[in-house]
Chains A and B, each alone.
Chain A
């Protein structure tokens, strides 16, 4: 086993200490955040308060339309909350150039979006300019592992390959806050496992805060240190995953029992 490469976050202990100093501000802090969209009666987020420590691997779980993507969009400063405040490392990310380079948001592209006209190697070149910690050798190695053709427009790639390109952009950016919104959707089971393995190995060398939304809870839950469950725009639960498991229930079963609506059944 090779010793881990020197990390920008300090010399990693081979035994794997990755907790930030006690005094470090939380990576993510939302205080009583509400987000309303125009002409929609119900708010997408409704009085959300949550604090996520630095270097957490947090699973963001919720049924469809629970508010996951809205929360992520606030963190990426794509939107501003209707009320309440958003803080990343103690600072407001909105219109902050620093936050722009420190937060990587990986989400599904629109069909005709800008990225679909670019080739993976062009997207990587852009990322190299915008991301101070971009590792091109890592990105290239990942592209080989996911069999991504570098010189084809992404719109002509398969769904799985497009997902791989998005995941590579998220991983190789090594952004202090990396947000994956169902990033691997379209990848087959083997590639999903490769993705998780690569993410974990890279996290060991370069610990960072990762927020990860998924509907594949039982497949992904071991990745998370903590789980944040949203339901109808509110925080349903936020706790350490092993504390939750100590109650004798897998995250998936807990999630289903908490979010099943009246009249719904699940076998």
Chain B
């Protein structure tokens, strides 16, 4: 992530999205960018979120809009304020954001996917296979070795039989 070095710095593991679209309200995009970080775990409970000044610098947008986005997070209880210090992630924020994003998941991701598949002539079976393939590809190495282990165990039990 690129932040102007003279204006401030983020923790190395913080990767707030630095690109905004001009055709959606900016304050919403600022709010969502921080929520995405909380969802991804790069901002954990009781972590400090970037200051307004850092967000202004990062996005090159006016402070009024940044303030509006951060105030919305505060009003929804996603962050809490420590006077003179800044804003921090609430304990229950990750769970609450996950629930809200799960509700939007069908409309935002699944519906467009099935519509697109239909348009391209991808059959339901092919779509299922593609989704399974993608899930497997994204599984962390430990999980796949877990599958191998359980297969080995199964093998072992079978041999025992």
Contact = CB atoms under 8 A, between A and B. Distances in A.
B23 A241 contact: no
5 contacts: A15-B74, A16-B66, A200-B57, A207-B63, A224-B62
Contacts of A242: 25-28, 65, 68
Nearest to B74: A15
A264 interface: no
Interface of B: 4, 7-8, 20-28, 51-54, 56-57, 59-68, 70-71, 74, 81, 84-87
B86 A14 contact: yes
Given A16-B52, A17-B67, A245 B26 contact: yes
A137 to B, nearest CB: 15
Interface of A: 1, 4, 14-18, 55, 57, 193, 196-197, 200-201, 203-204, 207, 218, 221-225, 241-243, 245-246, 248-253
Given A197-B60, A200-B56, A201-B53, 11 more contacts: A1-B7, A14-B84, A15-B81, A204-B52, A204-B56, A222-B26, A225-B62, A242-B28, A245-B26, A250-B21, A251-B22
A249 B8 contact: no
Contacts of A200: 56-57, 60-63
A207 B66 CA distance: 14
B48 to A, nearest CB: 10
Contact of B60 (A1, A57, A193): A193
A81 to B, nearest CB: 29
Contacts of A223: 60-62
A16 B67 contact: yes
A191 B57 CA distance: 15
A218 B21 CA distance: 11
A248 B53 CA distance: 27
A125 B76 CA distance: 50
Given A15-B70, A204-B52, A251-B22, A222 B86 contact: no
A259 B64 CA distance: 28
A173 to B, nearest CB: 19
A151 B35 CA distance: 50
B14 to A, nearest CB: 13
A125 to B, nearest CB: 26
Contacts of A18: 63-64, 67
A1 B51 contact: yes
Q: Which 5 A-B pairs have the closest CB atoms?
A: A250-B22, A242-B25, A16-B52, A222-B61, A16-B67
A241 B25 CA distance: 8
A1 B54 CA distance: 8
Nearest to A242: B25
A80 B23 CA distance: 38
Contacts of A14: 51-52, 84-86
Given A15-B70, A222-B20, A241 B26 contact: yes
Nearest to B25: A242
A16 B27 CA distance: 14
B52 to A, nearest CB: 4
Contact of A222 (B23, B59, B74): B59
Interface centre among B28, B62, B85 (most CB of A within 10 A): B62
Given A15-B87, A201-B7, A248 B62 contact: no
Contacts of A201: 7, 53, 56-57
Nearest to B52: A16
A226 B44 CA distance: 34
Contacts of B23: 245, 248-250, 253
